[in-house]
């Protein structure tokens, strides 16, 4: 038998169709069912479950991230408010202390002025009385001198 039998061979040949064809078709259909049960369904289930898991985890993570950002903003706002309040308290306290200082200063000044005035008045009156005294003394002395002079005559 020649090793190269092509068309029209009574036995063998490249294009030798026989019951191999339907049997192979049946075998492939059977294999499809077996692989569907053993491979496509279970692997598909695992892969799709994981895809779902990843998807839900991602959305959850996004949600949590948004929440965290919101909280951060809230805290930042609170912090800003607290800073402003603190600043206000400080400036108020500064203004208060300034006012108190000025008041105290004015009071001290006026007291000092008053006491100075009083002292000056006292000095004035004492000078006045000393002058008067002097005047009367001078008058008395004058009189004495006059009397002495008159007496000596």
Partner 1 sequence: MGTSPFVLPFAALEVGQHLYWQFGKLRIHGQVFMTSWILIGALLTLVVVGTKKMERDPKGVQNLLEFLWDYIRDLARTQIGEKVYRDWMPFIGTLFLFIFVSNWGGALIPWKLIELPSGELGAPTADINTTVALALLVSLSYFYAGLSNKGLRYFEYYVHPTPIMLPFKIVEDFTKPLSLSFRLFGNILADELVVAVLVFLVPLVLPVPVMFLGLFTSAIQALIFATLAAYYIGEAVEEHH
Question: Contact residues for partner 1 (CB under 8 A)?
Answer: 1-6, 9, 12-25, 27-29, 31-32, 34-36, 38-40, 42-44, 46-47, 49-50, 53
DSSP 3: S
Give 42 or 81: the residue with its C-beta nearer to partner 1.
42
Contact present, 13 and 5 (Cβ < 8 Å): yes
Nearest-angstrom CA–CA distance, 141 and 46: 138
Smallest separation (angstroms) from partner 1 to the CB of 50: 6
Give 19 or 150: the residue with its C-beta nearer to partner 1.
19
Nearest-angstrom CA–CA distance, 146 and 150: 6
Smallest separation (angstroms) from partner 1 to the CB of 58: 15
Give 20 or 113: the residue with its C-beta nearer to partner 1.
20
Give 38 or 82: the residue with its C-beta nearer to partner 1.
38
Strands (E), 76-117: none
Smallest separation (angstroms) from partner 1 to the CB of 57: 11
Residues in Cβ contact with 11 at an 8 Å cutoff, skipping those fewer than 6 apart: 1, 5
Give 35 or 106: the residue with its C-beta nearer to partner 1.
35
Coil/strand/helix, residue 31: helix
70's tokens: 């919101």
Smallest separation (angstroms) from partner 1 to the CB of 19: 4
Tokens 């061979």 — which residue?
9
State in Å, rounded, how far the first CA of the chain is from the last one: 204
Smallest separation (angstroms) from partner 1 to the CB of 65: 23
């Amino acid at each position: 038998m020649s090793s190269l039998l092509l068309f029209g061979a009574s036995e063998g040949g490249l294009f030798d169709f026989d019951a191999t064809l339907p049997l192979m078709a049946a075998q492939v259909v059977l294999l499809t069912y077996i692989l569907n049960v053993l491979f496509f369904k279970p692997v598909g289930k695992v892969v799709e479950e994981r895809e779902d898991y990843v998807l839900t985890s991602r959305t959850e993570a996004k949600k949590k991230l948004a929440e965290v950002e919101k909280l951060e903003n809230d805290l930042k706002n609170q912090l800003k408010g607290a800073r402003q309040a603190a600043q206000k308290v400080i400036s108020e306290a500064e203004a208060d202390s300034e006012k108190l200082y000025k008041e105290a200063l004015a009071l001290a000044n006026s007291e000092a002025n008053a006491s100075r005035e009083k002292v000056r008045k006292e000095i004035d009156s004492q000078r006045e009385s000393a002058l008067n005294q002097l005047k009367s003394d001078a008058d008395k002395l004058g009189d004495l001198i006059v009397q002495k002079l008159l007496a000596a005559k």
